[in-house]
Structure 1
């Protein structure tokens, strides 16, 4: 009887030890994969953080509304998003076309479209591109029509460019007034006052 009791206690102790080990192993497994996922995400973000000149981003921003319109036309005609991006990229030139060719190359290698757009957003740091990435990801997840979403984004992009141009035009008179005051006003004052000053000095 005591031998059987000791045997049962040994079995229970071994079972508890194995269960505890399994729990710890499961936690370690989950922690490892969570850490690995975070590390992979950080490496992806760091890999696309490159220094891009501001004029490069400005050229991309200038072509962005036309690119979105091309995406709308392609989606409306029945193309899928990757094919629509490729068709729209043919309608633009310069840095934006270069960037989209890079995106399409990543898509052809098997990378998900929303991840490629996320890399583009992180690489350029433009609000319009970031919105496009976010909205496309949500629309694809929720099943929202992509063409309608792109139409709204294109209108917003055109409005932003229009507001920026209006701001520059409104600031132009102020700049001209400063230039006039600094460059033209002193000579005019000198020409106006100099004869009187010379006459006054000559009277002495």
Structure 2
């Protein structure tokens, strides 16, 4: 029965995709109708030259299943919501992706889970009797688990990136302070630090410098960086730079103090983590090593008493 159900679902999905493709191909899209009349414009010609039809399997697959996945992504957005939270986490991650692209990734993860559970259900159906309703429920749960797992993966990636930025900050702040103390301006010092250093903070500094080179005022670019940063220390660092550039306030002592504060906070966090690990290390000692020691200590005596007792 499960084999018939799987074949029926496959046939129905294929028929639905064919009919949907035929309905979409009956009338070309607005962009396809307008672009031929705008080819004389250099901007349009450059954009259309960058997007060329491809015979790659991924592109062809996206052309077939893309509209369906896009509708699923819209449904996930309507059901889960939280578009502002996703956008904020993507900004903190430094990603160029948008909310819709992330929802598409969530749908892809969910479909992978759905396909794995469906394949497992079909294999089990070949060996034993499996209720179709239970298989469908398991597939739906797997789809939801894939969607939520992608969201959790984004949160974990943001947390790891911010931990790396916090570890890089003292070195960057000290190097920035040395550059300013040597006579360079804040922007020149920022550019020097971005060039000679590497890591997440250097990448963000390149973004800020790119905004400055395209005409954005320096203090506004730094304020925007402080607003999208999820690390309070780095937000204060960017705000301090913006104030120093806008008002000409001294900056060297502030940078040294911020670096010292972050180092002290990291030292305290390391001590607290060591204390927690020490308590965790007691678990195998109390529940594994100590009982084995007691058994080794008392078992020979118990055996001796049993042998001595008539």
Normalising by the smaller structure, the TM-score range is 0.5 to 0.7
Deviation at 1:79, TM superposition (A): 1.7
Structure 1: runs of 5 or more not aligned: 1-41
1:128 and 2:233 correspond: yes
TM-score scaled by structure 1?
A: 0.65
2:171 & 2:193 partners in 1: Cα distance?
A: 8
Partner of 1:184: 289
1:90 and 2:195 correspond: yes
Contact 2:92 2:230 in 1 (8 A): no
2:288 & 2:218 partners in 1: Cα distance?
A: 55
Cα 1:141–1:98 shift into 2, 3 Å: closer
Identify which of 262, 268, 287 aligns with 1:157.
262
Structure 2: runs of 5 or more not aligned: 1-83, 94-153
Matches within 5 A, 1:102-121: 102-121=207-226
1:198 & 1:184 partners in 2: Cα distance?
A: 21
1:171 & 1:90 partners in 2: Cα distance?
A: 39
Deviation at 1:141, TM superposition (A): 4.4
Deviation at 1:170, TM superposition (A): 3.5
Cα 1:91–1:159 shift into 2, 3 Å: farther
How far does the alpha carbon of each residue in 1:1-53 deviate from its partner, in whole angstroms, 9 at most, with x for none? xxxxxxxxxxxxxxxxxxxxxxxxxxxxxxxxxxxxxxxxx9xx858355543
Deviation at 1:158, TM superposition (A): 2.0
CA RMSD of aligned residues (A): 2.7
2:306 & 2:297 partners in 1: Cα distance?
A: 16
Partner of 2:158: 53
Between the two proteins, the alignment pairs up a number of residues equal to 161
Higher RCO (C-alpha 8 Å, min separation 6): 1
- Structure with the greater alpha carbon radius of gyration: 1
Deviation at 1:72, TM superposition (A): 0.6
